[in-house]
Amino acid sequence: MQTNPNAPERAPIISLASTKGGVGKTTLAYVLATALARRLAVRDAGDPELRHPDRPVIVCIDADPNRTLSEALRLTGMPEIRITESDGERLLPDLRMAQSEARIVIIDLEGSANQAMLYAAGKSDLVLVPAQPSRFDVVEAVKTVGVVRQAADLVGRDILYRVVLSRTPVLRQRVADHSRSQFHKAGLPLLGVELVQRTAFQAMTYTGEPPFRQDPAGGAAANVEALVDEVGGLLDLTLPPVGAGEGRAVAEAAEA
Ligand SMILES: Nc1ncnc2c1ncn2[C@@H]1O[C@H](COP(=O)(O)OP(=O)(O)OP(=O)(O)O)[C@@H](O)[C@H]1O
Ligand SMILES: [Mg+2]
């Protein structure tokens, strides 16, 4: 298995942040955690040096007192994912512990600017800022990126961030194009892949069934895998590919 000699030893940290509630942070955290865990488990299974059955592949730090991510992940019950419930006070020690065990750490934050957001951003390799295609969300994304910049100033390094369009209409591409241009005008870098509006994404946080379990060859699963590919590329992660026809095979390999 290929390893990247330039890859950092410590687990990369991805934070989901927004100063506004309800934009899709937890939804995005959930699909990334479950899809990355599945792919990395497949990768690690083929490499004795990477395989640590006693260690989690992903640690999800739930820093939102509503604990929506923790609840959904408990329902899902993937042994590769460990859930840590945290808050602004405990975040730094929780992160240290998570990084010593996991291959990737994902932090889900509350929808407001607070200490936890500043700490999480300051420790992150990538901050994802979900935003719905509306003018209000452009303003909120600018505010959120302001917090990321403060964190970067505080820790004395650049922090990579991307706005992720969420709940975009599957068919009305023109609306999405218009809203992309609004984010560009505000100087906000966007992820190329967006999380489209789908009932599969709404259902999964209640059922604990990620898209690759609901329908491995479906549009929602394909959307998530494309997202994982782009995020993996930004973080220089080595991930086995999952194409439309391969989804089922990887799911079976992961369950075997
Ligand atoms: N792509 C999507 N398709 C369909 N429904 C979605 C999608 N993204 C989010 N939702 C729904 O929108 C609502 C808000 O999403 P979510 O809980 O992920 O946002 P949040 O930013 O974590 O909110 P909070 O700030 O309250 O934690 C939820 O009911 C969720 O199921
Ligand atoms: Mg949330």
For 256, the token pair is: 């075997």
**182 C-beta neighbours (distance < 10 Å), count:** 16
Query: Would you say the CB of residue 22 lies under 6 angstroms from ligand 1?
Result: yes
For 233, counting Cβ atoms within 10 Å of its Cβ (0-12 exposed, 13-18 middle, 19+ buried), the class is exposed
Query: Would you say the CB of residue 205 lies under 6 angstroms from ligand 1?
Result: yes
Residue 8, CA distances (Å) to 24, 122, 124, 133 in order: 29, 17, 13, 34
- Fold observed for domain 13-248: Rossmann fold (3.40.50)
- Tell me the C-alpha distance between 187 and 158, whole Å: 16
Residue 180, CA distances (Å) to 65, 131, 133 in order: 31, 11, 8
Tell me which residue of 194, 201, 142 sits closest to 173, measured CA to CA. Answer: 194
Residue among 15, 18, 23, 26 whose CB has most ligand 1 atoms within 8 A, to mutate: 26
- Tell me the C-alpha distance between 25 and 130, whole Å: 6
Strands (DSSP E) contained in 126-184 are 126-131, 161-168
- Tell me the C-alpha distance between 254 and 256, whole Å: 6
pTM: predicted TM-score of the whole model, two decimal places: 0.91
Give tens-digit pLDDT for 27-81.
999 999 999 999 998 777 777 666 677 788 999 999 999 999 999 999 999 999 9
pLDDT given for residue 3 in this prediction = 45
Give tens-digit pLDDT for 122-172.
999 999 999 998 889 999 999 999 999 999 999 999 999 999 999 998 876
Looking from the CA of residue 168, the nearest atom of ligand 1 is 1
Q: Which ligand is nearest to the CA of 62?
A: 2
Ligand 1, atom 8, residue with closest C-alpha: 24
Give tens-digit pLDDT for 162-186.
999 999 988 766 667 888 899 999 9
Amino acid (one-letter) located at 65: P
Query: Would you say the CB of residue 194 lies under 6 angstroms from ligand 1?
Result: no
- Tell me the C-alpha distance between 230 and 250, whole Å: 19
Residue 200, CA distances (Å) to 39, 196, 203, 216, 254 in order: 20, 10, 5, 11, 21
Ligand 1, atom 6, residue with closest C-alpha: 202
First to last CA, the chain: 20
Query: Would you say the CB of residue 23 lies under 6 angstroms from ligand 1?
Result: yes
